[in-house]
Structure 1
Amino acid sequence: MIRTISPLRANFGRCTACAVRSLSICGALDETDLVEFERIARQVHLAPSEALFSAGQVASSVHNLTAGVARLYKLLPDGRRQVIGFALPGDFLGTMPSIRYSYSADAIKRVSACRFPVDAFKHFIEQRPHFLLRINEFASRELMLAQQQMLLLGRRRTEEKVAAFLVGWRARLAHIGDERQTVSLPMSRQDIADYLGLTIETVSRTLTRFEREKMLVIVSGGVRLLDCPRAEAMAAA
């Protein structure tokens, strides 16, 4: 069950102390605005596999991830799952052109997020045009990631898809301050396969081949890239 903490019972100043504030939409707000922003926020904490929201539900809230990794996906009419992305701390989720969510989001590992009622959020934006510019920047980034995935699902070969995923995920981790040589992969092989339009067997075989060719080493919880230039060249092909 998702646990919520009312801001009326929380200590204000949480936003100011937030470790991912500079990476989030709230990075455009000054301290005065942050006080009001906290008043409309609810903190939610999800255990692994708990849903942040589901496709088809009324889009009553928007969300800002503050910890953990979320899986974004759609279920196809035949029951198959298409993973459309992975959200990291600082990512903003839930803005919809319609009144219902068009995709689902759940926690891969434990996730924390700030939840904002749509009506209160819209009212907040209307009074702060500069904040809308920040949100538009995030929307543009989401569009870019969607375009990159379309390319991955298109004409690229299997090895190029897997290499592009690893290089792209490493860049996203570096953006939030995780620049270790070991690339953490909290998602399952099945998640990666559903993201790349491959089978889990194909993903596993490709990673094993990369390890055999000394491009990487498979370690607990991820991979360690040994030949980054080769991986980047393959990803750019």
Structure 2
Amino acid sequence: MISQATMSQQHGAVRRFATAPSQAVSLRSLFGGQPLETFETGMAIFWEGDDARHVFEVVEGVLRVFRILSDGRRVITGFLYPGDLLGVSLKDHYLYTAEAVTRTKLRRYEHGRFQDEINRSPELRPQLFACLCDEMAAAQDQMVLLARKSAEERVASFLLVIARRLGGEQKHPVVEIPMTRLDMADYLGLTIETVSRTMTRLTNCGVIAPSSRHAIVVRRLGQLAVLAGEADDGDNHAAGAGAIQQAVWPN
């Protein structure tokens, strides 16, 4: 997203859908009666090029969506969290591979039925349209991230997005990062060494700190925003960013 409001970004992987309590019909309600399916870490939900037969709701866990380039390189286009939809596309085949980062629980809905429900429901159409608009905005943010931001800005932006999404309004949010350094590198267009070096620098500067094996605590949220390139000079001063000079690591 994001600022990258979200991380599930491109090719039919849409962000969390918000529905007012007063609405009797919601996108979420379509999946309510469907059974839960469990996918263990590393399992694929579907592969790029498979027939697009189902739309999925993420109930628990984290997914990565990616494509494989002609030279064999993997490009991760987003990460999906509980509340996200997966597989929403007008295409007749999936444009990416979806794989479980952690043990994941999903509900699936037949793609044709999903389209029929959207077409016949005046309540569902604007909800889906809002999701797709969020997806487009997130894809644009990702383009800016890869095209214009330095390595440190990319890593900081990535952490900031997760902190804002999972940490709520906490002053020092503790956020889970279940993806590997390789996942982060393939998402940010960097090498593993660059990601690891930048994470170490952010830790040494006191911006973040380890909380557990797969979690960090963001100790200086304002400064993280500065390093992500999302604050003006006034915010920069207020966050005390003058104590840390921004580094641009080679790819």
2:37 maps to what in 1? 44
Which secondary structure state, in structure 2, belongs to the residue aligned with residue 55 of structure 1? coil
2:145 maps to what in 1? 152
Q: CA deviation at 1:174?
A: 3.8
Kindly indicate whether residue 199 of structure 2 is the aligned counterpart of residue 207 of structure 1. Answer: yes
Structure 2 matches for 1:191-230, cutoff 5 A?
191-219=183-211, 220-230=213-223
Which secondary structure state, in structure 2, belongs to the residue aligned with residue 194 of structure 1? helix
Give, in whole Å, the separation in 2 of the partners of 1:173 and 1:98.
31
Amino acid at match of 2:74: R
Which secondary structure state, in structure 2, belongs to the residue aligned with residue 64 of structure 1? strand
Give, in whole Å, the separation in 2 of the partners of 1:198 and 1:132.
38
2:159 maps to what in 1? 166
TM-score normalized by the length of structure 2: 0.77
Kindly indicate whether residue 120 of structure 2 is the aligned counterpart of residue 127 of structure 1. Answer: yes
CA contact under 8 A between 1:24 and 1:64: conserved in structure 2? no
Q: CA deviation at 1:150?
A: 1.0
Kindly indicate whether residue 186 of structure 2 is the aligned counterpart of residue 186 of structure 1. Answer: no
Structure 2: segments with no counterpart, 5+ residues = 1-15, 231-251
Q: CA deviation at 1:31?
A: 7.1
Q: Which one has more relative contact order, counting CA pairs under 8 Å at least 6 apart?
A: 2
Q: CA deviation at 1:110?
A: 1.0
CA contact under 8 A between 2:167 and 2:173: conserved in structure 1? no
CA contact under 8 A between 2:31 and 2:57: conserved in structure 1? no
TM-score normalized by the length of structure 1: 0.81
Count of matched residue pairs: 213
Amino acid at match of 1:136: F
Q: 1:46 to 1:77 in 2, by over 3 A?
A: same
Q: 1:77 to 1:31 in 2, by over 3 A?
A: closer
More helix by proportion, 1 or 2?
1
Structure 2 matches for 1:136-151, cutoff 5 A?
136-151=129-144
- Give aligned-pair identity as a percent: 32
Structure 1: segments with no counterpart, 5+ residues = 1-22
Select which of 69, 85, 88 maps to 1:92.
85
Structure 1 vs Structure 2 CA RMSD:
2.5
Amino acid at match of 1:159: E
